[in-house]
Amino acid sequence: MINLYTWPTPNSRKVSILLEEIDIPYKVFPIDITNDEQFSKEFSKISPSNKIPVIVDDENNKSIFETGAIMLYLSNKYNKFISKDYYWDVMQWYFFQVSQVGPYLGQAHQFLSYHPGKSPYAEEKYKAYVKRVYNTLDERLKKYQYLGIEYSIADIATWPWVARFEIHKTNLEDYPNVLRWYRLISKRSAVIKGFNAVGEKIAIPMI
């Protein structure tokens, strides 16, 4: 059994969607980050940087933090969603998510939606980064159905961030290939289930 310490955020949804896609049982432990539960002494033992999500694998008692590592752990353990034929395509787009899509869109949320007017410089900077990320995704998805050619952890990691398009002030219609890909993945039953693995159930944002 996999234990998932989580809260309804894009990073956490990456992991719950992957668990649903792999189709293994998992237990959810909510860590309310709006109430600073990530800073508890107990949780610090498995999350040295006090961030969610974290998994603990009952089979070997291993705990893993950082979604980049968690998703690689699960996809390697179950040998799913890493593609044999397109392994390096998957890895490049997976690491693009980990190093660019998540961090840039995450900062865009802070400056464009949660704290607007605090820093015109940061707003301009992250608006430009959002466009750059979307242009990059759109070009890739013009050529291929999925980021890693086959459906993989690259798509599963990226999709929950794109699902926050309203918060990073993006009109998906400006990126028709991303929109096609977003709608396609939104229909998957594992995605629908994994999206609401914890917290109040909400509808997947659609356009």
Interface pick for ligand GSH out of 6, 16, 67, 83 (rule CB under 6 A): 67
Q: Is 64 in the site for ligand GSH (CB under 6 A)?
A: no
User: Of the candidates 3, 9, 107, 196, which one interacts with ligand GSH according to CB under 6 A?
Assistant: 9
Picking from 144, 31, 135, 142, the residue whose alpha carbon sits closest to that of residue 85 is 144
CB of 38 to ligand GSH, least distance (A): 5
CA dist 71 and 89 (Å) reads 16
| Contacts by 40-46, CB closer than 8 A, 24 or more apart | 43/5, 46/5
Q: How many CB atoms lie within 10 A of CB 49?
A: 8
Q: Does 37 bind ligand GSH (CB under 6 A)?
A: no
State yes or no: residue 56 binds ligand GSH (CB under 6 A): no
Q: Nearest distance from residue 177's CB to ligand GSH, in Å?
A: 25
Number of amino acids touching ligand GSH (CB under 6 A): 10
Q: Using the rule CB under 6 A, is 66 a contact of ligand GSH? A: yes
Quote the radius of gyration of the chain (alpha carbons, Å).
17
- Rule CB under 6 A: say whether 33 interacts with ligand GSH: yes
Residue 180 Cβ vs ligand GSH, minimum distance, rounded to whole Å: 26
CA 196 to chain centroid: 13
Q: Are 196 and 28 in contact (CB under 8 A)?
A: no
Which stretches of the chain bind ligand GSH, using CB under 6 A?
Answer: 9, 11, 33, 38, 50-52, 66-68
